Amino acid sequence: MQEYDIITIGGGPAGLTVGLYGGRYGLKTLILEKQLVGGAMAISPLIENYPGMEPIKGTDLTARYKQQSTFFGAEIKELISITALDPDEKIITLNTEEQFKTKTIVFTTGSSHRKLGVPGEEKYTGRGISWCATCDGSFFRNRKVVVVGGGNSAAIEALHLAKLTPELHMIHRRDKLRAEQAYIKQIEKAGIQFYWNSIIKEILGDGKKVTGLKLANVKTDEVTEVPVSGVFISIGYDPNNKLATEIGIELDENGYIIVDKKMQTNIEGIYAAGDITGGQKQLTVSTGQATTATMNAFLFMNGGSWYK
Chunk the chain into consecutive blocks of 10 residues (it has 308) and report each block's average pLDDT, rounded to whole numbers: 96 97 96 91 78 89 96 95 94 90 97 92 94 87 96 89 94 93 93 96 96 96 96 92 97 96 96 94 93 96 69
Establish if 219 belongs to a structural domain: yes
What pLDDT is attached to residue 132? 85
* Residue where one domain finishes, among candidates 175, 206, 233: 233
Radius of gyration of the chain (CA): 21
What pLDDT is attached to residue 306? 58
Answer whether 262's CB lies under 8 Å from 296's CB: yes
pTM (2 d.p.): 0.76
Answer whether 108's CB lies under 8 Å from 37's CB: no
Are 56 and 150 in a shared domain? no
Are 180 and 257 in a shared domain? no
Answer whether 238's CB lies under 8 Å from 256's CB: no
Selected catalytic residue, list 5, 132, 221, 275 = 132
Identify the helix (H) or strand (E) that includes residue 2.
strand 2-9
Are 249 and 207 in a shared domain? no
CATH code, domain carrying 145: 3.50.50.60
Concatenated DSSP letters of 251-280 = B-TTSPBP--TT-B-SSTTEEE-GGGG-S-
What pLDDT is attached to residue 307? 53
> Catalytic annotation on 136?
yes
Are 12 and 104 in a shared domain? yes
Split into its structural domains, the chain has a count of 2
Selected catalytic residue, list 5, 60, 88, 136 = 136
Are 225 and 119 in a shared domain? yes
Are 123 and 228 in a shared domain? yes
Are 21 and 9 in a shared domain? yes
What pLDDT is attached to residue 122? 93
Answer whether 148's CB lies under 8 Å from 49's CB: no
Are 169 and 228 in a shared domain? yes
Are 14 and 105 in a shared domain? yes
> Catalytic annotation on 135?
yes
Compute the distance between CA of residue 10 and CA of residue 239 in angstroms, rounded to an integer. Answer: 13
Answer whether 47's CB lies under 8 Å from 289's CB: no
Q: What is the DSSP-derived secondary structure letter of residue 114? A: P
Cα-flanking dihedrals φ and ψ of residue 93, to 5°? -110, 130
Its domain, for residue 154, covers: 115-233
Selected catalytic residue, list 5, 88, 135, 260 = 135
C-alpha closest to that of 255 among 153, 109, 133, 83:
109
What pLDDT is attached to residue 93? 95
Are 151 and 88 in a shared domain? no
Are 91 and 143 in a shared domain? no
